[in-house]
Chain A
Amino acid sequence: MRNTTRRAFVLYFVIIAFFAGLGFMIYNFFVHGAEWTSNLVNQHIYKNGEISSAGTVFDRNGTKLVYSEDGVRVYNDDKTVRKAMLHAVGDNSSFIATGVQYVYSSKLSGYDFVNGVYNLKKYNRGNDINLTLDADICKTAYQAMDGRKGTIAVYNYKTGEMVCMVSTPSYDPQNKPDDIDDNPDEYEGVYLNRFVSGMYTPGSIFKIVTAISAIENIPDIYSQTFECTGEYETGDGKIICNGVHGTVDFEEALNHSCNSAFAQIAIQLGQSKLMQTAGELGFNTKEDMGQITVSASKFDVSKTTKTDLGWAGIGQYTTMVNPYHMLTLMGAIANNGVATKPYFVENMVYPDGKTDIIGKTEVNKTVNLDPQIAAQMKKLLRSNVVNYYSDDTFPGLEMCGKTGTAEVEGGSHAWFVGFSQREDTPYAVICVVEKSGSGLSVAGSVVNEVMQEVCD
């Protein structure tokens, strides 16, 4: 009998196992609760797979970009603003995986471990989110893109705040067109925010990277001269230039974006030095923007012929860049080598008025640029505008920059990257317009239109 009762002690192990299971369950709720409640099937937040009850998203001037009313998401009343802000705000059905309504859905729903979504049910509103973007500037940018595909983004390279981020093509999230899936050309990659997820052949804007590597590794780069006959014979192939530039020095080569000269510089640098510089500048490294996933720029010349290395040095070959990364690099050049991270989600406001900071000034440690080289690069980019693009193209902005015309199948991407060096307008900009022609005339004019409004 005593045996029997003493054997009951094994049941203590059952109780211990039970409590261990409970602990594991609570741990899971604590860690994954936000993710679980954000699931599209959660009828508290979504109806028929569409977000219905959540907080308001404001732009930097307090303009309502989207809010909930009677269980329906209502977007800004200006159709162009809705389209311009689509990729920042996101859509109802979470197709846009980098939009605020998807990435910060648990914040918008007001979920927290203690209260669940109680506040959402009680006040029919979650937490609000403030963006750093300016809806008016984005609208201008969207109109300047004029129906062409691509992206334009502007950020303050001292603070990291983005004021403009537009990706095209776009659509109106309030009245989503029915024919999106039927028009793969018109709506190519419409759910992608090209600024964060886009991967593009850089073309001549990559010459900035080659130039940085040259300044870093070739002591007499400024005294060297290069012959351009319209093409450059590498020994195992040839590089075609965009013109016949004759004898140019380093600065002139960048001004004219001379392919012959930069192919020679790239070959002179060699594979390992060029890759090292690219690595230091953040290529091949993933660096996310807050909770938003960003694609990493790719550069690899480890197994190239001389000709391919030459092509790589002028931004062709297999090199792909991400606009977010290139904008950060521009910021580093403009900001004395300090690469401030762009962000566009400012903070979250609870129903009781308390705020939580989401985005703040941070340095991107994967982009490492020597301040002296940054200063030299800044001079070179300024000389591009002064000597070649002309300040009349960007009146009053004191722009520094580099254009690019990246040849891809079926056309060429027009690029412009740059920044205003005026102390009072510390803004860096990136613009790519897909398959639309030459960098300066296409992207340059879009950038000017937007930057005039930004710096106004």
Chain B
Amino acid sequence: MSGEKLNNKFHWGFALILVTIFQVLTGTVAITGNGFNSKLFAIYAGFIILEWGYFIIASTFFGQNNFEIEIIGFLFSGIGLTNVATVDDGYALKQIVAIVLGLFVFIAMLVVLRRTDIVMKLRMPVAVAAVGLLVANLALAKYTNGALNWITIGGISVQPSEFVKLAFIFVGAASLDKLQNARSLTKYLIFSFGCVGALFLMKDFGTALIFFFTFIIIAFMRSGDVRTIAIVCVAALLGALMIVYFKPHVAARFRAYRHIWELINEEGMQQTRTLIYSASGGLFGLGIGKGELRNVVFASTDLAFGMICEEWGMIIAFTIVITYAFLLLYAIKVARNTRSAFYAIAACAAAGLILFQTSLNIFGVTDILPFTGVTLPFISRGGSSVISSWGMLAFIKSADIRTYPKLSKTILPDHPLYPDNIMIGKRPKRQVYIPPVVNKPVTAKKPATDIPVSKKKTTSSAKDIPVSKKRTASPQSSKDIPISRRKPPNGGTKR
């Protein structure tokens, strides 16, 4: 058992070593690109200490064994750090501060998300704060690059909509009524409409689209009500058409779409340069810092993908963007075994949001979709974006059953997020079926933490039972069993 445990640890340790080697190699280029830069050296040293410190502390003191999500987070953050560091070491300092804050938000959110009772209490304050933030944004912001989405507080520019993204998913996933039906959508619909409307007023259409997409995911996963969602989509489409009709200047912002070569020095400037220089880089790239795209305006924010293509090569660039897709695959997979619908919805919405935002960015700069100027999660320069991206990871990680080994204690049977309650009104009888093997692990008396992930996947259902099962002998113990457990072995109860 201990051997397998080590083996399990070895996987992430090994991955972390590889990631660190990659970061040292790419970081060295950034640090020594224009002679040795001690400031950048300190930043990179701090960054590598930060990631190793996190992994060592989390695994040693908090019993965390699974770090897939964090490794991706640190890998992406490191790439973003190097990409901006070669443009300006001042950017690198801001970026590392954002990564530290992002990690802090990530940990804080994991702590909060563990307590579903607190989650339930926080719903309304968070929703109010989110709307308040957007309203404050509208009131305070000045136009920056054609959009109103920045506010400056004490010399620091903040993009409130990035943080509202986190609130949007938090509120959406937590506002679960006991009945999963169309009625429960109404309140969330109003909240969503407020957020998207505020973003439209800010002329931040890209982020508005991201919110709308996230709303669709959450609404569908909550209700499964295709009809309502179809109506919402049609209404949104009509709304968009009306805006285009009555406010032609909105459409004019997208006139370069599919016409970038005719507007090569106007609205098509960023896209044409991205295509030209990405192609110039070939599969292996011209070398970090040796590109020309970096000289184009907003290269490190909007065109980070193109910079990576040109300087790091298409193989690395496409590996990175495919990894975003794997985040969503991971979220779908962990959602299947999660303890409550809250986690499933939050994880899928967060990963879906990241992939959708990635799509808007990379397909926007390559003229496959209209160019909206949204950031590439983790990699684009920008503190708010990096912090928000780390927050998204917290949603995904919270859904992983291995993250909170003792979670079931915090969900009481009368809690709306309690798995059984969620099912009321849908299929009251079927889910109480419990395989007779369920008590087996109790007799086995193995410490739950000893069971490696791999084991859980392959062994029969009985061994899958989480820690809580073994430690609490309370009469409601059978109800404590996580959802995954309830899956009938023969699938006979499948609808």
Question: What is A's interface to B at a CB cutoff of 8 Å?
Answer: 1-5, 7-12, 14-15, 17-19, 21-22, 24-26, 28-29, 32-34, 36-37, 39, 41-44, 111-118, 121
A15 partner, pick from B355, B368, B431, beta carbons under 8 A: B355
Interface centre among A24, A25, A32, A114 (most CB of B within 10 A): A25
In the bound complex, residues from chain B placing their C-beta under 8 Å from that of A112 are 282
A114 to chain B: closest CB distance in Å?
Answer: 5
Cβ-defined contact, A7 with B286, below 8 A: no
Q: Which of B116-124, B128-136, B235-243, B334-342 contacts A (4 or more CB under 8 A)?
A: B334-342
If A11-B352, A12-B332, A44-B292 touch, whether A116 touches B341 (CB-CB below 8 Å) is no
CA A29 to CA B275, docked complex, whole Å: 8
B356 cross-chain contacts in A, Cβ below 8 A? 14
Q: Which residue of B lies closest to A112 (CB)?
A: B282
Nearest 6 pairs between A and B by C-beta? A116-B282, A33-B279, A4-B341, A43-B292, A115-B282, A117-B280
Q: Which residues of A contact B275 (CB under 8 A)?
A: 28-29, 32, 36
Give B328-361 as 1s and 0s: 1 = Cβ < 8 Å from A's Cβ atoms. 1101100110101100110010011001101100
Give how many A-B residue pairs fall within 8 Å (CB-CB): 147
Complex alpha-carbon distance, A170 and B240, angstroms? 56
Measured between alpha carbons, how far is A37 from B255 in the docked complex, in Å?
24
With A22-B318, A43-B292 as known contacts, state yes or no: A11 contacts B328, CB within 8 Å: yes
A18, B355: Cβ atoms closer than 8 Å: yes
26 interchain pairs, CB-CB under 8 A: A1-B419, A1-B423, A2-B431, A3-B426, A4-B180, A4-B422, A7-B220, A7-B221, A8-B331, A10-B217, A11-B351, A14-B356, A15-B328, A18-B325, A21-B368, A26-B314, A28-B366, A28-B368, A33-B279, A39-B272, A41-B264, A41-B276, A44-B292, A111-B279, A116-B279, A116-B310
The CA-CA distance from A387 to B433 in the complex, in Å, is 112
Chain A residues, CB < 8 A from B329: 15
Contact (Cβ within 8 A) B272 A11: no
| A-facing residues in B379-428 (Cβ within 8 Å) | 419, 422-423, 426
Query: A41 touching B345 by the CB < 8 A rule?
Result: no
Residues of A within 8 A of B423 (CB): 1-2
Are A8 and B290 in touch, CB under 8 angstroms? no
Residues of A close to B318: CB separation below 8 A: 22, 26
B295 at the interface (CB under 8 A from A): yes
Cα separation A2 to B287 with both chains bound (whole Å): 49
Chain A residues within 8 Å of B284, by CB: 114-116, 118
Partner of A8, one of B286, B344, B362: B344
Complex alpha-carbon distance, A118 and B290, angstroms: 10
Q: B462 near A: Cβ within 8 Å?
A: no
Known: A1-B483, A4-B221, A22-B318. A14 touches B279 (CB 8 A): no
Name the residue on B nearest A24 (C-beta): B368
Instruction: Tell me whether B363 is interfacial, beta carbon within 8 Å.
Output: yes
Q: Point out the residues of chain B lying under 8 angstroms from A121, CB to CB.
A: 286-287, 290
Q: Given that A4-B345, A10-B220 are contacting pairs, would A37 and B276 also be in contact in the complex, using a CB cutoff of 8 Å?
A: yes
**Given A2-B431, A29-B278, A111-B280; 17 other pairs, CB 8 A cutoff:** A1-B340, A3-B224, A4-B222, A7-B220, A8-B332, A11-B348, A11-B351, A14-B352, A17-B359, A18-B325, A21-B369, A28-B275, A37-B276, A37-B280, A41-B272, A42-B280, A116-B280
How close is B177's CB to chain A, nearest CB, in angstroms? 13
Considering the complex, give the chain A residue whose CB is closest to the CB of B324. Answer: A18
Contact: B282 with A9, CB < 8 Å?
no
Interface residue B76 (Cβ < 8 Å from any Cβ of A): no
> In the assembled complex, how far is the CB of residue B280 from the closest CB belonging to chain A, in whole angstroms?
5
Bound complex: CA A265 to CA B345 (Å): 88
Residue of B whose beta carbon sits closest to that of A42? B276
Contact of A25 among B280, B287, B368 (CB under 8 A): B368
Docked CA distance A14–B349 (Å): 12
Q: Quick check: B332 and A11 within 8 Å, CB to CB?
A: yes
Produce 1/0 per residue, B242-282, CB < 8 A to A.
00000000000000000000001100000011011111111
Q: Which of B408-456 contact A (CB under 8 A)?
A: 419, 422-423, 426, 431
> Is B234's beta carbon under 8 Å from chain A?
no
Residue of A nearest to B358 (CB): A18
Residues of chain B contacted by A29 (CB below 8 angstroms): 275, 278-279, 314
Is B338's CB under 8 angstroms from A5's CB? yes
Query: B299-313 CB contact bits vs A (8 Å, 1 = yes)?
Result: 000000000001000
Which of A1, A15, A44 is close to B280, meaning CB atoms less than 8 Å apart? A44
Most buried by B among A1, A18, A39, A115: A1
Please give me the residue from chain A that is nearest to B359 by CB atom. A18
Q: Which residues of B contact A2 (CB under 8 A)?
A: 423, 431, 483, 486-487
| CB neighbours of A7 from chain B (8 A) | 220-221, 224
Would you call B344 and A4 a contact (CB within 8 A)? yes
Q: How far is the CA of A304 from the CA of B419 in the complex (A)?
A: 90
B209 CB within 8 Å of chain A:
no
A22 to chain B: which residues have CB within 8 Å?
Answer: 318, 321-322
Residues of B near A8 (CB, < 8 A) are: 221, 331-332, 335-336, 344, 348
Chain A residues contacting B273 (CB-CB under 8 Å) are 41
Is B283's beta carbon under 8 Å from chain A? yes
Chain B residues whose CB sits within 8 angstroms of the CB of A10 once the complex forms = 217, 220
Chain B min CB distance to A3 (Å) = 6
Q: How far is the CA of A18 from the CA of B431 in the complex (A)?
A: 35
Q: Which of B286, B363, B487 has most A Cβ within 10 Å?
A: B286
Residues in A with CB closer than 8 Å to B338 are 5
Query: Nearest Cβ in chain B — how far from A32, in angstroms?
Result: 8
Q: How far is the CB of A127 from chain B (nearest CB, A)?
A: 15
Complex Cα spacing A118 to B287, Å: 9
Known A-B contacts A21-B359, A115-B283; A1 and B276 likewise in contact (beta carbons under 8 Å): no
Residues of B within 8 A of A115 (CB): 282-284
- Closest Cβ of chain A to B127, distance in Å, is 21
By beta carbon, the residue of chain A nearest B342 is A4
Task: Report how far A44 CA is from B280 CA in the complex, Å.
Answer: 8
Between B180, B222, B275, B419, the greatest number of chain A beta carbons within 10 A of the residue's beta carbon is seen for B275
Task: List residues of chain A with CB within 8 A of the CB of B278.
Answer: 29
Contacts A3-B224, A11-B332, A21-B368; is A36 near B283 (CB within 8 Å)?
A: no
Q: Which of A11, A36, A118 contacts B286 (CB 8 A)?
A: A118
How distant is the Cα of A11 from the Cα of B396 in the complex, in angstroms? 14
Instruction: Report B-chain residues with C-beta under 8 Å of the C-beta of A36.
Output: 272, 275-276, 279
A114 contacts B335, CB within 8 Å? no
**Interface residue from A1, A14, A43 paired with B341 (Cβ < 8 Å):** A1
**Minimal beta-carbon separation of B429 from chain A (angstroms):** 13
Within 8 A of A (CB), among B440-489: 483, 486-487
Binary contact track B167-193/A, C-beta < 8 Å → 1, others 0: 000000000000010000000000000
Given contacts A5-B338, A15-B325, A25-B368, contact A116 B332 (CB under 8 A): no
Contact check: which of A12, A25, A33 meets B366 at CB < 8 Å?
A25
